């Protein structure tokens, strides 16, 4: 039997903030995804996207970003909690695509300085995901007290996150495979 083509699952680092700790979470999750032969991944740093702020929505598409989302089977969003919400730039950037997201899986990693692991920002993102046509999985990444989670070299110091992230990725892969099958094999009635 032919080897199935790998799932493409980019990781979107959702904050441009100077000194962002979410960078370490994004690199860690990227590393865990990269360990799997059945997954191709890449880091999309929101800082690098060419999205002006003089308008909103699909008029502002960054062609490279849109092409990556179009090719993706699933997304991982790494999202810090800012006053219980998500960074405004993340919403602005997400709003530049629409058809690119339809019937694709999304897993969210919440990042917080506090003890709730970004659960509140994740809850606030769920209705946005639904409106975009992304399908959320029922497992999240919750990176609490992120300032204590990585050493000076950016290496994870709490091994408990390895098992949790493995579970998160397994669920995301299942959803991504299922939705890819559906997109490619099950016609939608018009």
Ligand X SMILES: Cc1cc2nc3c(=O)[nH]c(=O)nc-3n(C[C@H](O)[C@H](O)[C@H](O)COP(=O)(O)O)c2cc1C
Binding site for ligand X (CB under 6 A): 15, 17, 20-22, 80-84, 111-114, 146
Distances (CA, A) of 168 to 35, 59, 95: 14, 33, 25
* Number of other CB atoms surrounding residue 94 within 10 Å: 23
CA 185 to chain CA mean position, Å: 25
CB of 149 to ligand X, least distance (A): 10
Classify residue 168 as exposed, middle or buried by CB count within 10 Å of its CB (0-12, 13-18, 19+).
buried
* Closer to ligand X by Cβ: residue 11 or 179: 11
* Closer to ligand X by Cβ: residue 21 or 93: 21
* Closer to ligand X by Cβ: residue 62 or 81: 81
CA angle 2, 5, 8 (to 5 degrees): 170
CB of 35 to ligand X, least distance (A): 23
Residue 91, C-beta contacts closer than 8 angstroms, at least 6 positions apart: 128
* Closer to ligand X by Cβ: residue 82 or 139: 82
CB 108 within 8 A of CB 44: no
CB of 30 to ligand X, least distance (A): 15
CB of 78 to ligand X, least distance (A): 8
């Amino acid at each position: 039997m032919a080897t199935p083509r790998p799932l493409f699952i980019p990781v979107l680092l959702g904050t441009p903030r100077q000194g962002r700790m979410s960078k370490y979470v994004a690199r860690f999750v990227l590393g865990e995804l990269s360990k799997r032969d059945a997954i191709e991944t890449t880091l999309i740093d929101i800082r690098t996207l060419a999205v002006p702020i003089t308008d909103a929505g699909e008029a502002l598409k960054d062609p490279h970003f849109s092409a990556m989302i179009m090719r993706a089977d699933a997304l991982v969003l790494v999202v810090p909690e800012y006053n219980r919400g998500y960074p405004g730039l993340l919403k602005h950037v997400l709003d530049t695509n629409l058809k690119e997201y339809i019937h694709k899986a999304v897993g969210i990693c919440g990042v917080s300085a506090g003890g709730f692991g970004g659960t509140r920002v994740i809850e606030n993102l769920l209705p946005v995901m639904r409106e975009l046509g992304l399908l959320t999985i029922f497992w999240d990444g919750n990176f609490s007290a992120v300032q204590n989670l990585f050493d000076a070299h950016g290496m994870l110091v709490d091994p408990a996150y390895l098992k949790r992230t493995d579970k998160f990725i397994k669920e995301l892969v299942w959803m991504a495979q299922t939705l890819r099958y559906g997109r490619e094999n099950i016609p939608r009635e018009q």
